[in-house]
Chains A and B, each alone.
Chain A
Amino acid sequence: MPQRNRKQRGVNRRKGHQMNEKTISEDTGFQVLPSEGQLQDRNRKQKRVMRATISFVVVILALVILFFAAINIGSLQVSFGELLQGLFVKRIENVATIWDLRFPRIMISMLAGAAIAVSGVLFQAVLKNPLADPGIIGISSGASFAAVLITAFAPSLYFFTPLVAFLGGVVAFFLVYCLSWKGGLSPLRIILTGVAVNALFTGLASAFNSMSGGDMTGVASIVEANITQKTWDDVVTLFPYVAAGLILAVLFIGECNLLTLEDKTARSLGVNVNTTRIVISLVAVLLASIATAIAGAISFLGLIVPHIGRILVGSDHKVLVPFSALAGALTFLLADTLGRTIAAPYEVSAAVIMSVIGGPFFILLLRRSTKYAN
């Protein structure tokens, strides 16, 4: 009996908190069992942890499998052995071609997908609105318009495209935030204002695309979110910004959680709510804008992935942010790979795939929940 006692306490300690209720009475050795409600709570908690763990494992596995599948989908095909040899041992013509053509777009898909999904999570936290998506509220189109401007009029400044796109995103966010502020932020007003801002910038970007003759591949590729022609240079441009954005997002996980409380409550905990909100917004805009500058404007990705994430791993940003990054990479890569397979040799862009899947999903969310729309 005493042995069992020790074992039990060991388990409790490992769970990371001392039990407040006396689980075991020291003197008698009798067990005072936790109530049924407590056991149910613990069971549910364990189930949540289990579901989150499985979700992470599945997404990571799926991402690895899809990565290798994507390498090998297309007119050129190589065996796994050939691939490894070509990458690490000797030059194989087919592998070199795949390295130059397919790898960049795969990397860009994953980086942009992770960036957009995490950007969505951050916007949803900052705006207290589960329907906020960098595409829907016009951030991506603001960034894409700015990128189009610089590509069309100052192509020599191509290297600065991400920065300019970031500025475009900031302007769009500023517009949405200010125009929908009316003594507070109503979720619906943000979406409506966002739709208008989105339409404005999308229209402007298309107009400049047409005015520049519509045949400048750089401009068109941003407007149409076409990542066919991407090279390793683009990956190198994109990577540092995405990495920086994701690291910043991880640093602000605690603040994101606190922002889910009422503003006054967060403030009473010592959080400077306004400053926090601005800083996290800038990180979100950064992630969405650079993804847009390289991969084009993608709608609904930043909405769907976090939403599914909340169902699978819960609303705690500590798990939601990393999960969304992984699932975002998976979703974008899946959309891009589908896009170049379903009508081969023609390609459907990932943005189009996301819109076709995302539109109905968005409507479903609006219809299903009374919480979002009032």
Chain B
Amino acid sequence: MQTNMTNTMTDQAVSTGQSVQAEGNQKPAMEVRGLSFAYGNNKVLRNISLQIEKGKITTIMGANGCGKSTLFSLMTRNLNPRKGKVLLHGKNIQNMKLMDMAKKVSIVHQYNSAMDDITVEKLVSYGRTPYMKLMATESEEDKRIIDWALEVTNLSKYRDREVGKLSGGQRQRVWIAMALAQNTKILFLDEPTTYLDIRYQIEILELIKKLNREYGITIIMVLHDINQAIHFSDRVIGLSEGKIIVEGSPSEVISTESIQKLYGIKLNVATVEGQKFVLTV
């Protein structure tokens, strides 16, 4: 029942292109409570709690080894917490079925691979897996959402192309389209701009922004580039040594001091037209 409701809501967003950002900002989309994790004796996360606001772009940032990848893996259920829990709409994700979670949360991982000779359309259609019944064929509904995912990511004209023939930027868009085909309200992205030329980095980030602004999808991502994180996020969560050091809207929390705490280097922060820039040279 609940799943149906979620579907209908997103469907409306799909068909009208309206922002659904306004509704229900009170309850967090996801919540992390007292999360701890360690590899052996090496403590990576120490008692972390945070909330992911609905309809916002949240970026997890920090230096190498600060625990941001671990936090990402725990929130996407690729690792199991030692202590604490991750809640999705108030439910512990550990107790959810993978299939049910895949209908609520989609994830674009950093490394991806596929058969070279599969077409873009076919690969994107894999995003419908959580909705597929055994041996069933694609329904009209499936086709409509796949078409929508291709359209939004600007891939419609490449639908018949083999994935092996795409450029890096196009391929990244295919993985995003596959996640979109899952028709979820929450989208995770792990360093979605790595390995891409700057032009494609911006293209991908603009696409992510569009998904958030036009379709109300809650975005949680890990970004390496400080300025891109500031520029494209509503909220940033900065980690250092397994603890949250910085949390809030980038214009408020980014400063020379907070950057020094996060990355251990003193960098000037300039403000141009109300927008903060960390001078990374």
- A residues neighboring B (CB under 8 Å): 17-18, 20-21, 34-35, 37-38, 41-42, 44-45, 48, 251, 254, 257-258, 260-262, 264-265, 267-272, 310, 314-316
Contact = CB atoms under 8 A, between A and B. Distances in A.
Given A20-B150, A264-B109, A314-B117, A37 B157 contact: yes
B10 interface: no
A353 to B, nearest CB: 30
B182 A45 contact: no
27 contacts: A18-B147, A20-B151, A20-B159, A38-B158, A38-B160, A41-B161, A42-B160, A44-B160, A257-B126, A260-B114, A261-B113, A261-B126, A262-B112, A262-B113, A264-B109, A264-B111, A265-B109, A268-B76, A268-B107, A268-B179, A269-B130, A270-B97, A270-B102, A270-B129, A272-B98, A315-B117, A315-B118
A267 B126 contact: no
Given A20-B151, A269-B130, A316-B115, 9 more contacts: A38-B160, A264-B109, A268-B109, A269-B129, A270-B130, A315-B116, A315-B117, A316-B117, A316-B118
Contacts of A37: 157-158, 161
Contacts of A316: 115, 117-118, 122
Interface in B116-133: 116-119, 121-122, 126-127, 129-130, 132
A272 B100 CA distance: 12
Contact of A268 (B106, B143, B162): B106
B78 A264 contact: yes
Contacts of B107: 264-265, 268
Mostly helix, strand, loop or mixed at chain B's interface? mixed
A140 B112 CA distance: 33
Interface centre among A42, A257, A258, A272 (most CB of B within 10 A): A257
A344 B115 CA distance: 44
A198 B62 CA distance: 49
Nearest to B160: A41
Contact of B147 (A20, A41, A262, A267): A20
A307 to B, nearest CB: 13
B129 A258 contact: yes
B255 interface: no
Interface centre among B103, B122, B159 (most CB of A within 10 A): B159
Given A35-B157, A265-B109, A17 B129 contact: no
Contact of A17 (B111, B113, B121): B121
B135 interface: yes
Interface centre among B106, B130, B157, B179 (most CB of A within 10 A): B157
A15 to B, nearest CB: 10
A271 B114 contact: no
A34 B159 CA distance: 12
